[in-house]
Structure 1
């Protein structure tokens, strides 16, 4: 794709006349499996790999060799700042950034993780900007659907961090267990609520081998029983509406399994 393109029609000129720094940077990005685009020179001439061509959608192949502000006019202001910072030797990182792009003939909102860093020439001065692009739109949409399912099914969810004992819990989880917004929810707090006869299975060393399910006893306090399947995903049941809410929740979780999320409760990190 790169060698077949007529670069002599751009400000870069023919490949044979490119500086070694540009050739090396191009070779590196072409070997990457993730979308990478390089914006070279003050014009920000775009050189990118196959993965980025997929991200570009209908904008490819016209995007190749174009000036970035002209190639993506709908985000020209955003990219102008990228060029300004990068050519001054600075770096930029964006997480879950919302942009509206016209990749397929119509505006669409996308969510991206973006990392920008300068590319130096032979003299050590910034001559271009390298951009690594991760399209996380599907993951963000799945998160939104999951939150809707949690609210609709009155499902409380938490993420557990075993190395610290900290838990990030949803508002519904706090409501179910009566934890106020100022209460720090951690492993010790949850274990203290478990019936005495069940506390033997709260030893974290046992959990990776067999899943643990949290149940509410008639006394109102949580108890622990072995789950039917091993793994972190089934480590808890947080809904008071039983099977109907759980089924709704499981349907939404199909969107998350490729991200490593297996259930409403604990996800080991």
Structure 2
């Protein structure tokens, strides 16, 4: 099993907005959908998938376990609730969304509960999100690196997270980039705009292509059909080494997502 290189994110999209986004994306050819318990949109995503008419076995659906559900007694019941909302018997990938704040639930406990969910057929693959190196090591010790499909992390031109990427690659753990467009900041960058003009592409296509060429999976979101279609075309854009070097030089360790009380000690 592998992680698809390109998919649709649904963070901050709810109700009719997320239904429209998912259905439009599926019409355009998207087949990977990323959601989470805390997004409070799993039921709407499930409705959109059901109404799309796309067969379940053509899709790759990811959800994430919220911190309140990380204990052994809550994780599997919460995942079963997610499956009901998503109108499916299984998801393709389930992640620990954030490490337990203050380590109130150990990485070992939550990862072993997640592995039990995989063994029960509730999820095809399991993984982690927002895990720095120290906690990645704990996760590997808990369930074995072969059971960790990906670490989904904030990663964009201004935060390239090279230490985490290097460690993950050494272990054979795939990286999924979220916030790849840096909340839209990267789309206004003169360097990226110049590369886009050179390739007759959009700035979003350039950034997404950059991430995919580095081997990361990306899950951009949008509510607009044109943007959804344009993002999908990023898979066909090939940047040259000069383009890649210029984007690499934009890194300034500029983190956008670090919630108080939730964020771990970042590398």
Would you say same fold, with TM above 0.5?
no
Could you state the TM-score of these two structures normalised by the residue count of structure 2?
0.23
TM-score, reference length from structure 1: 0.23
Higher RCO (Cα < 8 Å, 6 or more apart): 2
Instruction: Point out the structure with the larger strand share.
Output: 1
Larger relative helix fraction: 2
Look at both structures and tell me which one has the larger radius of gyration over its CA atoms: 1
